[in-house]
Amino acid sequence: MTDAPLIDPFQRAVNYLRVSVTDRCDFRCVYCMAENMTFLPKKELLTLEELDRVCTNFVELGVEKLRITGGEPLVRRGIMTFFDSMSRHLESGALRELTLTTNGSQLERFADDLWAAGVRRVNISLDTINEAKFAEVTRWGRLPQVLRGIDAAQRVGMRVKINAVALKGFNESELFDLTEWCASRDMDLTWIEVMPMGDLGNEDRLDQYWSLKDLRARLAERYTVTDLSERSGGPARYVRLEETGQKIGFITPLTHNFCESCNRVRLTCTGELFMCLGQEDMYDLRPALRGSSDDTALKEAIRAAIALKPKGHDFDYSRQRPDGQMTRHMSHTGG
Ligand code: SAM
Ligand code: SF4
C-alpha cells in the first residue's frame, strides 16, 4: 500500500520530520558557525514548492509532527507562504503539530502570521540573558530584538520553550537567573549539551563542555527536582522543578539512551534525508523530487530511505577527545 505508515527496520514508526529550510542565518553562534560562512547557492536549495511537496508526501505517509528549522528558518524569503500552505494539513487533521525552532530575531515580525498558520508552540534558542554575553556568543545577534520576539510570540498566545546550550564558564553562572527568568514568564527551559559538530577550528568545544549531569545536580541544590516519565522519542529527558512548576529538559544527543524510541528523520534544505543525527548516512530525495512530478517515485524514495534508518548512532564522546566528531554543522541538519 503506497500510503502505509513509515516503519523502519527496527519497527519504529517514523512520525516526526524536522525540516531545515535554509542554511543561512542572521546570527553566527560560535558553537554553530564560523564568522565567515559560505552558504549554498540558491539553486541548490529546495524551492518552497518542493519543500511543500516533500512535506506533504511525508504527511501522507503518516508524519504527524513537522518542525521547521535551519539555519534560521524565518530568514528564508517567502517562508510564510510555506507555513500557510502547511496549515492545510493541520486543518485536515493529518498533521497534529506544525512548529519551529528559531533564534527569535524575526518573531516580532512573524508571530501573528505563524499563529494564523496554526503554530501554537515555538522553541526559541537563547543561551544568556546578559546583553553583552548574548552579542558575544551569537556574534551578530542582539538581545533586545530577541526579547521583543519572545514577547510577540507570547502575546499572540504561543507556548514558548527556551533552548539553551550549556557552556562551561559562559552561562554556568546564569543557571538560576535563566531558570527564574523563564519561570517568571511561564516558559519551559531545555538545556542542550554542546556537540562536537563541524570543524572545531580554534575553539575547542570540549573546553566549553558542561555536563548536564552536573547542571542537574546544581539545580537540585536549590530546587526539588522530580523526574518525569514523559519522553519525546528524541534525545530529551524532562524533570519538573516543584518550586516553580517548570519543566526542565536535558538534551544529551551524544548518549545512546534514546535510539530505541527514535521516531524522527531530518530533511536538509537541499533535499537530503538524514535518518540519524549521529551518522553521515543520508538519502538524496532530490532526484525523485525533480525527476518526475508523480509522487509515486518520491514516496518510494522516502520508503527506501527509511529502510536505511540505523539502529542507533555512533558517537564516542570520551570527554577527552572529540572522537565521535561529525563533519557537518548543526545548521546543515537543523539540530
Ligand atoms: N537558528 C535556529 C535556532 O538557533 O534556534 C534553528 C537552527 S539551530 C542549528 C538549532 C539548535 O541547534 C539551536 O538550539 C542551537 O543552539 C543548537 N546548536 C547549534 N550548534 C550546536 C552545537 N554545536 N551543540 C549543541 N547545540 C547546537
Ligand atoms: Fe544561527 Fe541557530 Fe546556528 Fe545560532 S544556532 S548560528 S541562530 S542557526
**Identity at 318, one-letter amino acid code:** S
How does pLDDT run across 164-174, given as a tens digit for each residue?
Answer: 999 999 999 99
pLDDT score recorded for residue 330 = 64
Whole-number pLDDT of residue 311: 83
How far apart are the C-alpha atoms of 226 and 217, rounded to whole Å?
12
If you take atom 8 of ligand 2, which residue's CA is the nearest one? 71
Check if 273 has its Cβ closer than 6 Å to any atom of ligand 1.
no
- Measured CA distances, 152 to 53, 80, 140, 145, 236 (Å): 30, 16, 21, 11, 27
Query: Is the Cβ atom of 101 under 6 angstroms away from ligand 1?
Result: yes
Query: Is any ligand 1 atom within 6 A of the Cβ of residue 31?
Result: yes
Residue 248 has pLDDT above 60, yes or no: yes
Whether the per-residue pLDDT at 282 is higher than 90: the answer is yes
Q: Alpha carbon 317 to chain centroid distance?
A: 21
Across the range 134-160, mean pLDDT stands at: 97
- Ligand 2 atom nearest the C-alpha of 331 is 8
Give the CA count within 13 Å in the CB-facing half-sphere of 149: 25
Across residues 294-313, what is the average pLDDT? 91
- Tell me what pLDDT residue 316 has: 46
For residue 317, what pLDDT is reported?
Answer: 40
Q: H or E element: which one contains 99? A: strand 97-102
pLDDT of res. 25: 98
DSSP 260-295: GG--EEEE-TTSEEES-TT---EEE-HHHHHH-S-H
Closest ligand 1 atom to Cα of 100:
6
Positive or negative, the CA dihedral 40, 43, 49, 54 is negative
Ligand 2 atom closest to Cα of residue 141? 7
The region, left, alpha or beta by phi > 0 then psi within -120 to 50, assigned to residue 30 is alpha
Q: Where are the alpha helices (DSSP H) in the chain?
A: 48-60, 79-92, 107-116, 131-138, 143-156, 175-184, 205-208, 212-222, 286-291, 295-306, 330-333
Instruction: Tell me the C-alpha distance between 124 and 119, whole Å.
Output: 13
- Rounded distance from Cα 238 to ligand 2 centre (Å): 24
Closest ligand 1 atom, residue 163 Cα: 14
Write out pLDDT tens, residues 46-85: 999 999 999 999 999 999 999 999 999 999 999 999 999 9
Question: E-strand spans in 168-260?
Answer: 188-193, 225-228, 236-241, 247-251
- Neighbour count for residue 250 (Cβ, 10 Å): 19
pLDDT (average), residues 201-228: 84
The yes-or-no verdict on residue 321 having pLDDT over 60 is no
Does residue 315 register a pLDDT over 80? no
Note the pLDDT of residue 111.
98
Counting from 1 in the atom list of ligand 1, the atom nearest the Cα of 198 is 23
pLDDT score of 255 more than 80: no
By mean pLDDT, which of 60-64, 72-76, 89-93, 317-321 is the weakest? 317-321
Q: Is 15 in the pocket of ligand 1 (CB under 6 A)?
A: no
Q: What is the pLDDT of residues 95-141, one digit of tens each?
A: 999 999 999 999 999 999 999 999 999 999 999 999 999 999 999 99
Tell me what the mean pLDDT of segment 148-164 comes to: 98
Tens of pLDDT, residues 202-213: 455 457 889 999
Ligand 2 contact via 73 beta carbon (within 6 Å): no
Coil, strand or helix: which one is 249? strand
**Domain architecture of the chain: domains with CATH:** 16-333 (3.20.20.70)
Gap between the Cα atoms of 241 and 239, Å rounded: 7
Please give the pLDDT value at position 332. Answer: 64
142-146, 182-186, 234-238, 251-255 — which is least confidently predicted?
251-255
- Cell for 223? 530546587
* Cell, residue 69: 528549522
Q: 199 pLDDT band (50/70/90 cuts)? A: very low
Tell me the mean pLDDT in the region 89-93: 98
CA 243–ligand 2 middle distance (angstroms): 32
Q: Which ligand is nearest to the CA of 126?
A: 1
Nearest CA, atom 15, ligand 1? 125
Does the structure show a pLDDT above 50 at 323?
A: no
Does pLDDT of 254 surpass 80? no
Centre of ligand 2 to C-alpha 248, Å, is 21
Check pLDDT > 60 for residue 293.
yes
Nearest CA to ligand 1 atom 12: 335
- Compute how many other C-beta atoms are within 10 angstroms of the C-beta atom of residue 183: 18
Total residues belonging to the chain: 335
Looking at every residue in the chain, the average pLDDT score rounds to 90
| pTM, 2 dp | 0.93
Ligand 2 in reach of 70 Cβ (< 6 A): yes
Greater model confidence, 256 or 326: 256
Q: Is 334 in the pocket of ligand 1 (CB under 6 A)?
A: yes
